[in-house]
Structure 1
Amino acid sequence: MMKALVIVPYEGLLELMKEIQQEVEDIQLHIELGNLYEGVAIAKDAEQHGYHVIISRGGTASMIQEAVSIPVIDIQVSGYDVLRILTLVKGFSRKAAIVGFSNITQGAATICELLDLDIKTLTITKDSEVTETLANLKNLGYEVIIGDVVTVQSAKQLGLTGVLITSGKEAILDALEEARRSYHLFSRLQQDVSIFQAILDGNEQAIAVFNKEEALVYANERFNQEFQWMKIESSPDLKKIIHETALTREKQTITLHMNHVFWKITTCLKEDSIIMYFDKNLPDQVMAQNGDANAIEFHTSVSFTPFSGKTEQIQKVLKQIDQYSKSEASVWISGEEGIGKELAVHTIYLNRKKMKEAFITLHCDIVSEEQLKNLLNEAFFERYANGVVYLKNIDQLSPSMQKELSQILTQNEAKKLQWLASSEDNIEEKMKGGLFDRVLYAALAELKIQIPPLRERRSDIEDLVHVFISEFHPKYGNKVVGIRQDALEELKNYDWPGNVQQLKQVIEQLFLEASSYYIEKNEVEAVLKQLKQQEKPADPLTPIDLSGTLEEIEKQVIVKVLEEEGMNQSKAAKRLGINRSTLWRKLK
């Protein structure tokens, strides 16, 4: 029997493959989730485990083909797949474009023309063209990019909304048929693993090889163990040293902080390949912790998620972010919980970043006074003098810790740092009541941004809803493609005390529970009714009624935890030790 390894680049395709797996009897399918370099790393072991063929999609399939000697079958994008996505993005009010290789754009252009859709279609011939193409589209006012995984990732890095063209059942069945043909043609060509790979896999160093296009073509076992959590293509620091090695053709050495560990990375050029050696630089580790939570986090890059909205209020915020990104002054961002303060902070950092400046987050709600003192004793700020420090929830610092922080700010090395801070809207009241130090506020609030609550910009809700649906589409599958207008009006009329984060959680719940391709009004009404019930103030002294059934008692416990966590479903689910979807199900 043919043994096939299926490597899918997104979670929705993983679930669809599992369904089809139950219907296939003549192929032994093993399914793994892995995109691009992750997919290549998974594919490296395929031959050792006796696989006859690998099935993947798009850019991941192309990269795997270069890395293995067994046949690789590409799940082609079908007309059905394109039509589904075009239906999904009809609700966007913004300019949209389709960017991809010819296997995507040829059919997409025809369908757009047939349906009279005003969606621009651009064809690329190699991955390196994606960023420049998207940058040009952004300059022309395009905000929504439709394409494969590589295109969508590049779009998000440029602050655009990326919508992934997902694969349907028809395309997968075609790929399985092609796999059967390839198996009969190439079953005798599978090669043994070379002795050299065995030697490299036994090396204590993590080793990776990149080609001149900065694509990962080989990784040893140690590399896969250490970096399976990280998408190499998302690290600008690694891409930069690869580029410098290829350009200068000389050995390069750099030390980077990745996943709370310092790594010494050495590169050298061999013909057209760049070999990278990773060694842990253990003596320089610094990490302050409080229980299971990290009070201090280190990053050399952060994820980017753009603000979405057309209202005057949010446009003002976007303009301030753009202006303040050109300065090195401290910025204080205020607003209600769930409104997107951290998104603004990340945007400012990414716009200001020039080289390898560290991004350091101090969680002021959990950091202790002892930890702050340790930072002073360990000369922490001298070590990261050119970095950016984000003081998250600074309004939750105690008066004594505010004094400690003021002491840090007066240090010469600390003055070189760029400081970003966030708080709730009531900081003026706290200063009037003597609960927050005015001197500290003045030092950190050279520039100020106030993000308005969602209830004050309801017209942005429609755009946000479509953005969230496009995000969840590749994560959970390609079933839901939109929302009914009357359902959307229900969402607009709700006050959203948890702001954008709460809206996103609700859309995720509706996405998972939807019974058709469109989210319906009755489904929205049911979820909002549940939210309104949870928001009713409860008597904290009222005990839990133990006379009911186990299910009823369990529901009472969940509601009380939700109330204690300020109706934050993520925090409540974490405290209860369950995921959010389980929380929603138990509250129904």
Structure 2
Amino acid sequence: MIKALVIVPYEGLYEMMKEIQQEVKDFQLDIELGNLYEGVAVAKEAENNGYHVIISRGGTASLIQEAVSIPVIDIQVTGYDVLRIITLVKGFSRKSAIVGFSNITQGAATICKILDLDIKTLTISKDTEVKEILTNLKKDGYEVIIGDVVTVQAAKQLGLTGVLITSGKEAIMEALEEAKRSHRIFSQLQQDVSLFQSILDGNEQPIGVFNREEKLVYGNERFNREFHWMIVENSNDIKKLIQETALMKEKQTRAIHINQSFWNITACPQNGAIALFFEKNIPNQAAVQDGERKTKNAIEFHTSATYVLFSGKSEPIQKVLKQIDQYCANDETVWISGEKGNGKQLAAHTIYVKRNNAYAPFIVLHGDILRSEQLKDFMNDFFEKYAHGVIYLKNIDQLSEDMQKELYHFVKNGHHTKVKWLVSSGNNMEEKVKTGTFDRDLYYTLGQQKIYIPPLRERREDIEDLVHVFISDLHPKYGNAIVGIRNDALDELACYDWPGNVEQLKQVIEQLFKQTSSYYIEKEDVAAVLAKCEQPEKKDEALTPIDLSGTLEEIEKQVITKVLEEEGLNQSKAAKRLGINRSTLWRKLK
């Protein structure tokens, strides 16, 4: 019996593997969801748990091969897989290209020629080539990039639409046959290379050991409970600490903000490696209670530079894009206004990345839940340390009057010269200033560069592009047969007023994805979902009661269902409230 771990990069492939799991006889198949570096983390753990082989796909498989010594089998892309995705992207009105390794591009080029499709095909030999190729394609006017996970991720970082080539059953069965062949050749398990494991795992202090390339080679149990290894590896402050310690060959201690808290980190050089010892410094003051139901973060730290640019050809959105490009030429404050759900944070994040601040922290302050003492502590303790970062003050118009004055005095005293500000608000600021409900001085100090994002109902011609973007994004998540939407269904969407703007459109498309079983979304499907949008929200007393007489699994499912109802079927909010990720939530509801 071959003990195999299957690490799949998207949810649709997870469900397909579960079906195949019941059919195979020679394997003990365990399935985990993990994309790229998440998959590597799972693979590293699996290597020490007696697995004979790991099966994954594309860029995730390539990264895992570099991280472990047991055989790693790549689920290859078949011609059927390529044909299905090419059919899906035919609905795009924008220039498309296929970028990937030869196993993808050879078959794709042939199919494009047979079908007489004008889709450019480019072959890479290593993943480091992807960014340059996509940058050149973007300059040439290409907006839709088809490929594997690595290509799609790189496309989204450049503001392009990335469409993932998903795998079919025949590709998975071939991978299992390859796993059998590899297992016969490679029978030895990877040797245990954990450093000082017997001593360090018993320590209650988080300890991580890094090589001179700033890569984690060991984390004790407390370290793994506190941190995700990728977050630590990608911290610029920790990289600098490791580099300086390796160069000076002396022990050093430094206060670093990581995982929403400050830590005193002592770095010690140890025989070609650097051991980091973590001790909690300043308690996290970012979390606030929202009533009795849920906890939100008033202050969030982000390090990822991944973003998706606005999609749309309308004149209003083209004006927004031009303003973004114009304001990216300087570091002055940008004030973004507009209705809820129309992409203000997306615009702020786009400016953050385009200004070449991708390695600086992106700090989000939620003005609607930020308390006065939190803002004061932040201004006193955080600004000096993270002066090189970008601070996005979301919903600035919801700050209290005292907080507005406190912030204005801080900015007026010259501290703003060290801080790169981005702010957002509703679209009625002039009225609020006129009526005295918002500080005039603060508004005119921070509002020198303004961007107004119009609601979706005023740019209906953008709906078609947005729908195709959402379909391509959702396809890897659900892995179903949908490849497009009927024209009359698009007309139905275009006639709706979208009070929740782009975010509501995205939720509707996701709902259609979950309930449509054919290749194309039909008009009647759209009409049914939009009809539900018009229904008034249910009162709390009408929510599903919880029956405690069932099994633990049944009770758990009831709790998840109730939380989903209370959160208006928003899976992200429900998962955050339950303390689990969306993938876990999705699996528990199956």
TM-score scaled to structure 1, two decimals?
Answer: 0.84
The residue that corresponds to 2:116 in the other structure is 116
Q: Structure 1: 5+ residue runs without aligned partners?
A: 552-560
Q: Match for residue 333 of structure 2?
A: 330
CA distance in 2: counterparts of 1:122 and 1:265, whole angstroms: 47
Q: Distance in 2 between matches of 1:83 and 1:60?
A: 22
Shift of residue 550, structure 1, vs aligned partner: 7.5
Structure 1 counterpart of 2:96, which letter? A
Deviation at 1:320, TM superposition (A): 0.3
Give runs of aligned pairs for residues 205-220 of structure 1, distance below 5 A.
Answer: 205-209=207-211, 218-220=217-219
> Is the Cα–Cα contact under 8 Å of residues 487 and 519 in structure 1 kept in the other structure?
yes
RMSD: 3.8
Distance 1:571 1:40 in 2: 24
Query: Which aligned pairs between 1:51-200 and structure 2 lie closer than 5 A?
Result: 51-187=51-187, 189-194=188-193, 196=195, 198=197
Partner SS for 2:300: strand
Measure, in 1, the Cα distance between the counterparts of 2:65 and 2:190: 14
CA–CA distance in 1 between the matches of 2:50 and 2:577? Answer: 42
Aligned residue in 1 for 2:451: 449
- Does residue 353 of structure 2 align to residue 350 of structure 1? yes
Residue 421 of structure 1 and its aligned partner are, at CA, apart by 1.2
Code of the aligned partner of 2:20: I
Aligned to 2:316: 313
Q: Quick one: distance in 2 between partners of 1:354 and 1:191?
A: 40
Cα separation, 2, equivalents of 1:249 and 1:163: 44
Give the CA deviation at 1:146.
0.9
> Counterparts of 1:334 and 1:409 in 2: how far apart (Å)?
20
TM-score, normalising length: structure 2: 0.83
* 2:490 paired residue number: 488
Describe the shift of the 1:149–1:575 C-alpha distance in structure 2 as closer, same or farther (beyond 3 A): closer
CA deviations 1:143-182 (Å, max 9, x no partner) are 1111111111111111111111111111001111222233
Give 3-state SS (helix, strand or coil) of 1:306's partner.
Answer: coil
CA distance in 2, matches of 1:267, 1:99: 44
CA gap of 1:170–1:371, structure 2 versus 1, over 3 A, is same
Q: 2-side partners of 1:324 and 1:32: how far apart?
A: 43
Residue 280 of structure 1 corresponds to which residue in structure 2? 278
- One-letter amino acid of the counterpart of residue 129, structure 1: E
Residues 48-102 of structure 1 show CA distances to partners (whole Å, capped at 9, x for unaligned) of 3222221111222233233333222211111111111111111111111111111
| Contact 1:37-1:232 at 8 Å conserved across structures | no
Change beyond 3 A, Cα 1:430–1:421: same
Task: From the superposition, tell whether residues 455 and 5 of structure 1 become closer, same or farther in structure 2 (CA, over 3 Å).
Answer: same
The question of whether the paired residues in 1 share the 8 Å contact of 2:6 and 2:54 is answered with yes
Q: Please list, as runs of the form range in 1=range in 2, the aligned pairs for 1:457-468 lying within 5 A after superposition.
A: 457-468=459-470
- Whichever residue aligns with residue 101 of structure 1, its letter is F
Counterpart in the other structure of 1:517: 519
Give distance in 1, aligned partners of 2:415 and 2:486: 55
Match of 2:365, SS state, is strand
- Equivalent position of 1:365 in the other structure: 368
Residue equivalent to 1:555: none
Of 366, 374, 377 in structure 2, the residue corresponding to residue 374 of structure 1 is 377
Aligned to 2:388, the other structure's residue is in SS state: coil
Read off the aligned partner of 2:165 and give its amino acid letter: I
In structure 2, how many angstroms separate the alpha carbons of the residues matched to 1:370 and 1:329? Answer: 26
Amino acid at match of 1:32: E
Structure 2 CA distance for partners of 1:45 and 1:381, relative to 1, 3 Å: closer
C-alpha displacement at 1:447, in angstroms?
A: 0.6
Counterparts in 2 of 1:231 and 1:80: CA distance versus 1, 3 Å: farther
CA contact (8 A) 2:5 2:54 kept: yes
1:390 and 2:389 equivalent? no
Residue identity matched to 2:131: T
- Aligned residue for 1:477? 479
Give the secondary-structure state (helix, strand or coil) at the position aligned to 2:345. Answer: helix
Give 1:279 deviation, angstroms. 4.3
- 3-state SS of 1:13 partner: helix
Alignment partners' CA distance in 1, 2:137 and 2:242: 25
1:361 is displaced (CA, Å) by 1.8
Give, as a single letter, the amino acid of the residue that structure 2 aligns with 1:449.
I
Deviation of 1:16 (Å): 1.3
> CA separation in 2, counterparts of 1:193 and 1:302?
35
SS at match of 1:319: helix
Residue type of the partner of 1:329?
E
Change (3 A) 1:350 1:194: closer
Taking the aligned partners of 2:26 and 2:11, their CA distance within structure 1 comes to: 25
* Counterparts of 1:388 and 1:344, CA distance in 2: 13
Q: How far apart, CA to CA, are the structure 1 residues paired with 2:175 and 2:348?
A: 44
Change (3 A) 1:391 1:323: same
8 Å Cα contact 1:258-1:300 kept in structure 2: no
Q: 2 CA distance for matches of 1:533 and 1:320? A: 38
Matched, 1:341 2:325: no
How many pairs does the alignment contain?
555
Spell out, residue by residue over 1:96-131, the C-alpha distance to the aligned partner (whole angstroms, 9 max, x if none).
Answer: 111111111111111111111111111111111111
**Could you tell me which of 304, 307, 312 is aligned with 1:304?**
307
- Secondary structure at the aligned position of 2:179 is classed as helix
Distance 1:198 1:575, change over 3 A: closer
5+ long unaligned stretches in structure 2: 290-294, 547-562
Percent of paired sites with the same residue: 61
Residues in 1 aligned to 2:268 and 2:150: alpha-carbon distance in whole angstroms: 25
Deviation at 1:530, TM superposition (A): 0.8
Deviates more, 1:158-167 or 1:43-52: 43-52
DSSP-derived class of the 2:159 partner: coil
Per-residue CA shift, 1:210-229, capped at 9, x if unaligned? 87xx9x69554556545437
Paired letter, 1:315: Q
Extract structure 1 runs of 4+ deviating beyond 6 A: 238-245, 248-255, 265-270, 543-546, 548-551, 561-565, 574-581
Q: Which amino acid aligns with 1:13?
A: L
1:497 and 1:153 mapped to 2: Cα distance?
31
